[in-house]
Structure 1
Amino acid sequence: MSQKFNTAERAALKKFRVCISDLIKTFDEYDAHDKNLIRWLRARDLNVRKAEFMIRESLKQKEIDNVAELKHLPLSEFLLEKLPFSPCGHDKEGTIICVIPCGKWDLKSLLQQGYKDEMLRYLCQFFEKYFHYMKLNNSVEDFKTGAIILLDLEDFSVYDIMSNQVFSFLIELLKGYEEHYPEVMKATYIVNVPKVFEILFSMVKPFIPTGTLSKVQIHGGSSDHWRKALLEKIDYRDLPSQYGGSNSAHPFYSNRFGLTWPGRAKIFPPEDFITEAVPPREKITKSFELLAGDRISWNFKTDCYDIGFEFLFNGVRMFPYARADAHVCVQDGLYDVMENGTYVLVFDNTYSKYRSKILHYIIVVENSG
């Protein structure tokens, strides 16, 4: 969303402030800022009367639903497992990015089990936590109101999504989003898009404002294509490995993170790396017996071509599997151990039929004792 105001917008803002002066008295500095108030006007094509009605109705409904408390409450552990998401970094202008692997969300099953109201509240809580975090990390000199969403449609099922129950839920969700969080989307990147997605999107488009549609980029086909598109706007350090970045230890959101996020491994000197060849159809594993309080961090790169990577705890995958572009940028990862057990780093070349990969890596363990 543009942070610059034209003449018409400045005039509308002046009138808008007068019309909602009673509300502004109750706002904090962030909510009362012109760069935040302009969202409501732009959502109603600078019609001051309609924008006033919109913001008053939104605040009224949020008060009825007691939305203000949501930013301080933990998210449902059950829904975090079923509907995961990952705040992952910032774009090159400092806007927060959130990865949503919605292709793996089983909305149909949850709706059939009667979780509709809980899901709507969960997603509302997600937005409230996002804006609370954004407020805490804003300044007058660097004021941000936008969001970047990366929607991953891997494992997307058009048959589930096109059920009447799911379609109605999505429309209700879109309607609520536009009513309460207008003009906050800076960009949405949709990746791993199957061809059948076009059917669903054509059905949903009439319910999405034109301004929002203009910010959506849909990327199907080769991952090389959409990874390149992402890296035009986002530095590789701010993307998980599976999206062309360098963060190979990128977890889904957890209540224990609060308003912080796990630390990143440093980039170690290249001369400290160990070199091994990973033959085609094979993998290399590095296993460690670690205790709670230990820290393990790693870097790895390849001379040519990507390589698969995963990190296991007692045989269970801790982060999403990644075909990492380790030949493009050094991959890094860090994990603070919370439970005693066996931790394994896997460098996977089983998907290559004929090509060996030259791997360079360093793994550092810091013991708690």
Structure 2
Amino acid sequence: MSGRLGDLSPKQADALHQFRERIQDVLCQLPAQHDHFLLRWLRARNFNVQKSEAMLRKHLEFRKQMKVDTIISDWRPPEVIEKYLSGGMCGYDREGSPIWYDVIGPVDPKGLFLSASKQDFIRSKIRDCEMLHVECTVQSEKLGKNVESITMIYDVEGLGLKHLWKPAIETYGEILQMFEDNYPEGLKRLFVIKAPKLFPVAFNLVKHFLSENTRHKICILGGDWQEVLLRHIHADQLPAIYGGKMTDPDGDPRCRTRINHVGPVPPSYYVRDHVSVDYDRCLTVSRGSTQQLDYEILFPGCVLRWQFSSEGADIGFGVFMKGKKGEWKKAAQMEEVLPSQRYNAHLVPEDGSLTCERPGVYVLRFDNTYSIFQAKRISFSVEVLLPDRLKAQRDHGGAQSPKDGQGDHAS
């Protein structure tokens, strides 16, 4: 049985009755009280009444803390989020569910985070969820049937290393967790279109925030993505840029009045010069010397991601490749991958990423050879990001890990 009204087993029907009885004291505080809504919480916890009750009561605390009931009328996102965070609701699928679009490529994660708080991003997504809930209610009344979930389309063309910036990924993970905890069964399906080579790495970073049920609703489409979308969405409800016939009144195929298409955030919006980071390790680079961190990459397509800051003065940094793990070489003897240069990491923390197109030993090298008087203390984090298809191999001992080289090494 599907666990939906009209398709309940006797055990599921009994669980619904018990659930309603146990939450009588808070029923009036919910955004909806009908059985369709209550069944969403039961399905999210496999009809375990006790767990479903705990989930719902925690949600009510969330609504009170975040002032969710008035967030649409009483709160508005900062201008920079309204202008430079992509996405929007546009059209309905063939079953009448609202469609939400996210256009990832042009988004400027660092510019947004330098201009608004993490709380602002989370609240803006709560507001979006509440607006979509209202739209589902309107559609239910209009169509005379229950509409409780949305279709999402993720346009990931242009997804790049800037989108793997650690503070942005961590916040996105918090938003996904918030969605899972407070809007169960709110997603009908998610179509990922125009996915680049980097997408498996990005997906691997966030998929652990998603429940197994949500993962099953994600469809990563290939070259026939327009045909697939049209099987689920009427042409007059699909923007022309995505293979449909919908345009704005002025003929814009991107439907910009409904879907926010963005660009880089102007520095005039910045309210801080960097985002604070918790680093994993520290090392000291003696005056006139270097320190190297070796990472053996066994598979092409992995990503090296780093963040570091220095105390007191600048530090040189570059990325190289060498032949054998554990073997120390000077920079001149290694292949230069990212040219070494001096960074004012004592003023603004430095972060970066590199797609490893070839297997090999990649060397992250901190250079203090130009300083004859001052040692440099470096705080840093380094990660190897695996494509999704390699995760199982890693879990069974078949993927890469940091290897010892010269001096102090990452672990």
TM-score normalized by the length of structure 1 = 0.63
* One-letter code aligned to 1:196: L
Cα deviation per residue 1:53-82 (whole Å; 9 max; x = unaligned)? 111111112112211111224444321211
Q: Which of 116, 140, 150 is the equivalent residue of 2:153?
A: 150
- Compute the displacement of 1:163 (Å): 2.3
Which aligned segments of 4 or more residues in structure 1 are displaced greater than 3 angstroms?
1-5, 25-28, 73-77, 252-255
| Preserved contact between residue 84 and residue 253 of structure 1 (Cα < 8 Å) | no
**Mapped partners of 1:3, 1:239: distance in 2:** 28
Structure 1, 148-157 or 233-242: larger mean CA deviation: 148-157
- Compute the displacement of 1:202 (Å): 2.0
**Mapped partners of 1:162, 1:177: distance in 2:** 20
Question: Counterpart of 2:26?
Answer: 23
The 3 A distance-change label for structure 1 pair 3 and 241 is: farther
- Compute the displacement of 1:17 (Å): 0.4
The 3 A distance-change label for structure 1 pair 75 and 164 is: closer
**Mapped partners of 2:211, 2:4: distance in 1:** 19
Residue 115 (structure 2) pairs with residue 116 (structure 1): no
Cα deviation per residue 1:114-136 (whole Å; 9 max; x = unaligned)? 52111111111111111122223
**Mapped partners of 1:252, 1:198: distance in 2:** 31
Secondary structure at 1:21 match in 2:
coil
Cα deviation per residue 1:7-40 (whole Å; 9 max; x = unaligned)? 1322211111011011224446xx1111111111
Cα deviation per residue 1:219-259 (whole Å; 9 max; x = unaligned)? 24x3xx1000001111100000011100122224499xxxx
Cα deviation per residue 1:140-182 (whole Å; 9 max; x = unaligned)? 931111011111112211x123222122112111111111111
Q: Which of 10, 13, 18 is the equivalent residue of 2:16?
A: 13
Question: Counterpart of 1:176?
Answer: 178
Cα deviation per residue 1:30-52 (whole Å; 9 max; x = unaligned)? x1111111111111111111111
Question: Counterpart of 2:193?
Answer: 191
The 3 A distance-change label for structure 1 pair 165 and 27 is: closer
Structure 1, 77-86 or 230-239: larger mean CA deviation: 77-86
| Preserved contact between residue 160 and residue 166 of structure 1 (Cα < 8 Å) | no
Residue 40 (structure 2) pairs with residue 35 (structure 1): no
| Preserved contact between residue 98 and residue 135 of structure 2 (Cα < 8 Å) | no
The 3 A distance-change label for structure 1 pair 2 and 253 is: farther
| Preserved contact between residue 86 and residue 251 of structure 1 (Cα < 8 Å) | no
The 3 A distance-change label for structure 1 pair 134 and 24 is: same
Residue 41 (structure 2) pairs with residue 49 (structure 1): no
* One-letter code aligned to 1:118: D
Gaps of 5+ in 1: 256-369
Question: Counterpart of 2:268?
Answer: none
Question: Counterpart of 1:211?
Answer: 213
**Mapped partners of 1:87, 1:26: distance in 2:** 27
| Preserved contact between residue 92 and residue 99 of structure 2 (Cα < 8 Å) | yes
Question: Counterpart of 2:225?
Answer: 226
- Compute the displacement of 1:106 (Å): 1.8
Instruction: State how many pairs are aligned.
Output: 249
* One-letter code aligned to 2:69: A
Question: Counterpart of 2:84?
Answer: 82
The 3 A distance-change label for structure 1 pair 76 and 138 is: farther
**Mapped partners of 1:254, 1:237: distance in 2:** 16
* One-letter code aligned to 1:109: G
| Preserved contact between residue 90 and residue 101 of structure 2 (Cα < 8 Å) | yes
Question: Counterpart of 1:235?
Answer: 234
**Mapped partners of 2:78, 2:140: distance in 1:** 27
**Mapped partners of 1:103, 1:3: distance in 2:** 37
**Mapped partners of 1:135, 1:63: distance in 2:** 21
Question: Counterpart of 2:267?
Answer: none
* One-letter code aligned to 1:192: K
| Preserved contact between residue 89 and residue 259 of structure 2 (Cα < 8 Å) | no
**Mapped partners of 1:184, 1:142: distance in 2:** 16
**Mapped partners of 2:15, 2:127: distance in 1:** 31
Cα deviation per residue 1:258-280 (whole Å; 9 max; x = unaligned)? xxxxxxxxxxxxxxxxxxxxxxx
- Compute the displacement of 1:109 (Å): 2.5
Secondary structure at 1:104 match in 2:
coil
Question: Counterpart of 1:263?
Answer: none
**Mapped partners of 1:197, 1:12: distance in 2:** 40
Secondary structure at 2:147 match in 1:
coil
- Compute the displacement of 1:2 (Å): 7.0
Question: Counterpart of 1:137?
Answer: 139
Cα deviation per residue 1:272-305 (whole Å; 9 max; x = unaligned)? xxxxxxxxxxxxxxxxxxxxxxxxxxxxxxxxxx
Identity %: 27
Computing the radius of gyration from Cα coordinates, the structure with the larger value is 2
Question: Counterpart of 2:256?
Answer: 251
* One-letter code aligned to 1:32: Q
| Preserved contact between residue 83 and residue 102 of structure 1 (Cα < 8 Å) | no
**Mapped partners of 1:51, 1:147: distance in 2:** 22
Gaps of 5+ in 2: 249-254, 261-411
Secondary structure at 1:186 match in 2:
strand
| Preserved contact between residue 104 and residue 153 of structure 1 (Cα < 8 Å) | no
TM-score normalized by the length of structure 2 = 0.57
| Preserved contact between residue 149 and residue 189 of structure 1 (Cα < 8 Å) | yes
Superposition RMSD in Å:
2.1
**Mapped partners of 1:60, 1:239: distance in 2:** 37
Cα deviation per residue 1:92-128 (whole Å; 9 max; x = unaligned)? 1111111111222222322244521111111111111
**Mapped partners of 2:190, 2:257: distance in 1:** 19
